[in-house]
Amino acid sequence: MNNIICQFQLIIAQKINKLIYTVLNFRPLKGLISEEWYVRSDIKKALGILCMIWNVLKDIIWKAFYFILVIIVPNSLLAGGLGFEDNKTLGNMFAWTFLICSCFMGTFTNSRIVTDGNEEDYLLLNLMRIDAKQYYLTRSLFQSASQTVYWAVAFLLIVGRICPGHTGVFLWVLLCYICCRPIGEAVSLKLCEHYDKIPYQDKSSKVQGGYYMYNFAMVLLAYLCYPVLYLMQSRLGDKHIQVFHPLFDAGRFSLGLQAVLILILLVAAVVSVRYLRAYPKYLQVARICCGFARVTEKQKQAESAGSIETKLENSLDEDEVPERLFPNKNGYDYLHAIFFERHKKLLRRPSQIKRWLAEGIFAVAALAVIVSRFVLSGAQFQSMSDSAWKAVNLLLPILVFVMYSFSSGEKLTQAMFFHCDASLLKYGYYRTPEAIISSFRIRLKYMLQTEVAFILTFCVGVFVNLMLLGRFRDMLQIVAILGCIVILSVFFSVLFLCMYYIFQPFTEAGNTTSVGYKACNIGVYVAAYSCLQLHTPPTYFAVLLLSVTVVTMVVGILFVWKLAPKTFRLR
């Protein structure tokens, strides 16, 4: 317990010092507080209590958001599209999806021990010399217990209102979650020992491919189980709107199945706890996950890149970057062409991952529609097509949040900073208004080009699936939907680049210190989430979306022209 308290105090003290530093350097609040706050124990205690309260509330709110966006919204849309909306079936769908996504996927791919080391781990393990085994075990125990409590509160707030008769089922799911946590930690440790590196950060196609395949299989199992059961039972002639699931709807058999599953998980959890307690190589895990090189990786990347001028001299070698690739470019166009060529894998990877994910989702959806056309009767397929089209109309506002989540603009701007601007901003010529505006124009063009493949994939996927459903008569609305996809992809690319140039929030150590940038990020998230509450025809929504996004992009670009020459600096 003393170890947990010591860790907690150190982490809170670090957060308070960062908060004071941020407020001291935030221009609108400059002069409101003084540097004496660093040594005022009474103020730090008050801020510590506020931080604790905020952390608890933040975790509960995020749990509630996760449950709404990942569990409730997709399953409600699936249920509405297929025609079963009874409370019992919906509650069982929520429980099943949470069981798969949070217990069997999240706990195995989101370890509390084998992490991509952060400053807290480095501070406590390397600088404060806390015993690695005690640190990892106590932190894992504390976080598992706190997360369980937060989930319980979120369930009481949400499930108690939406599905009041499913409290027992969700308590059972929560017990499964408790058992799966140590199992996931043990599996992560085993993989880390086997590969001698963080398994989920491994760049080899075998490891990373297995990681993505496992996640993809779990997502399919979570969301397609009930639609498949519905199609099978409809084929067998069951006309009831309640879908039968053997884990929840078979009376005593379901209770027995639940008991067997929890017993298996409990035995596996006990074995995993014994393995975690006896594991002898926590120090090696700490060196792999949060050594100095790992924690300062981003900073080292920026520093090891050195001066871009030196790199440009070396890049004139024929073997490195052939000059004939860019014969018509000069100045900043030539500099950025070399930068994009050298880091093309890093810069294009987020867009490629989005494209692969979209291809997988739409391929599965198209396969499901084709199978349904053969399995269902003509009337049943038409009914499903009408229900799916109604769901698509409801999904259009959700598309804003989906495209926001899929946006790779923030990752691209981070790559631009750490691999280019962190070095070049040290030189006066690169901080001139002409250089900043020229770089902004070139990068905006490149970011839009990287989104083209994803936009085409998304549009083709939506169009093909709607055509397979026979929605030829709704072509105007389909065009509006495709237009929204294009608008949103362009909008989020422009928005994140504008925010980067206006605030330049990154430090060489890899932190984000700009309060304005964080506030804008929160504002964008809230605006995207608020669109979930809109219900309007696709054509009207497309016109409204076009107006808002165009105005926002124009204002953002004008702000860049006005403010970036003054604010685009190293922090």
Return the closest-CA partner of residue 69 out of 482, 536, 533. 533
| Dihedral (Cα; 436, 442, 444, 448), 10-degree rounding | -170
According to the model, what pLDDT value does residue 179 have? Answer: 92
Q: Which whole number is the average pLDDT over 306-314?
A: 41
Is the pLDDT confidence value at 561 over 60?
A: yes
- Convert the pLDDT of each residue in 418-435 to its tens digit: 878 888 888 888 888 888
Residue 42 in any domain: the answer is: no
Q: What confidence category does residue 271 fall into, taking pLDDT thresholds of 50, 70 and 90?
A: very high
Question: What is the sign of the dihedral through the CA atoms of 452, 453, 456 and 459?
Answer: negative
Name residue 512's beta-bridge partners.
506
Residue 148 in any domain: the answer is: yes
Q: Which whole number is the average pLDDT over 132-144?
A: 82
Is the pLDDT confidence value at 519 over 80?
A: yes
Is the pLDDT confidence value at 485 over 90?
A: no
Question: Rounded to whole angstroms, how far apart are CA atoms 565 and 401?
Answer: 32
Residue 284 in any domain: the answer is: yes
What percentage of residues in the chain have a pLDDT greater than 90?
Answer: 4
HSE-CB for 425 with a 13 A CA cutoff: 24
Residue 236 in any domain: the answer is: yes
According to the model, what pLDDT value does residue 272 have? Answer: 92
Q: What is the pTM of this model?
A: 0.59
- Convert the pLDDT of each residue in 41-60 to its tens digit: 777 778 778 878 888 888 88
- Convert the pLDDT of each residue in 412-421 to its tens digit: 888 888 878 8
Of 120-129, 155-164, 330-339, least confident by mean pLDDT is 120-129
Does residue 565 or residue 112 have the better pLDDT?
Answer: 565
According to the model, what pLDDT value does residue 263 have? Answer: 94
Q: What confidence category does residue 321 fall into, taking pLDDT thresholds of 50, 70 and 90?
A: very low
Is the pLDDT confidence value at 320 over 70?
A: no
CB distance 84 to 230 below 8 Å: yes
Measure Cα distances from 217 to 5, 98, 197, 301, 364 in Å: 40, 15, 24, 34, 11
Burial of residue 464 (CB within 10 Å: 0-12, 13-18, 19+) is middle
Residue 423 in any domain: the answer is: no
Q: What is the mean pLDDT of the chain?
A: 77
Which distant-in-sequence residues (6+ apart) come within 8 Å of 424 by Cβ?
308, 430
Does residue 525 or residue 243 have the better pLDDT?
Answer: 525
Q: What is the residue range of 75's domain? A: 55-295
- Convert the pLDDT of each residue in 330-381 to its tens digit: 777 877 788 888 777 777 777 777 788 888 888 888 888 887 777 777 777 7
Number of structural domains, the chain? 1
Is the pLDDT confidence value at 78 over 80?
A: no
268-282, 321-335, 397-411 — which one is most confidently predicted on average? Answer: 268-282
Residue 241 in any domain: the answer is: yes
Q: Which whole number is the average pLDDT over 21-32?
A: 67
What percentage of residues in the chain have a pLDDT greater than 70?
Answer: 79
**Any long-range contacts for 300-307 (C-beta under 8 Å, 24+ apart)?**
301/418, 301/419, 302/417, 302/418, 302/419, 302/422, 302/423, 302/508, 303/422, 303/508, 305/419, 305/420, 305/422, 305/423, 306/423, 307/423
According to the model, what pLDDT value does residue 292 have? Answer: 60
- Checking phi first, is residue 237 left (phi over 0); if not, alpha (psi -120 to 50) or beta? left
According to the model, what pLDDT value does residue 323 have? Answer: 46
Q: Which whole number is the average pLDDT over 457-472?
A: 83
Q: Which whole number is the average pLDDT over 423-449?
A: 86
Q: Using the 8-state DSSP alphabet, how is residue 514 labeled?
A: -
Residue 255 in any domain: the answer is: yes
According to the model, what pLDDT value does residue 319 have? Answer: 42
Residue 465 in any domain: the answer is: no
Q: Which whole number is the average pLDDT over 167-172?
A: 84
Return the closest-CA partner of residue 452 out of 351, 337, 340, 347. 351
- Convert the pLDDT of each residue in 190-210 to its tens digit: 877 777 666 555 555 566 667
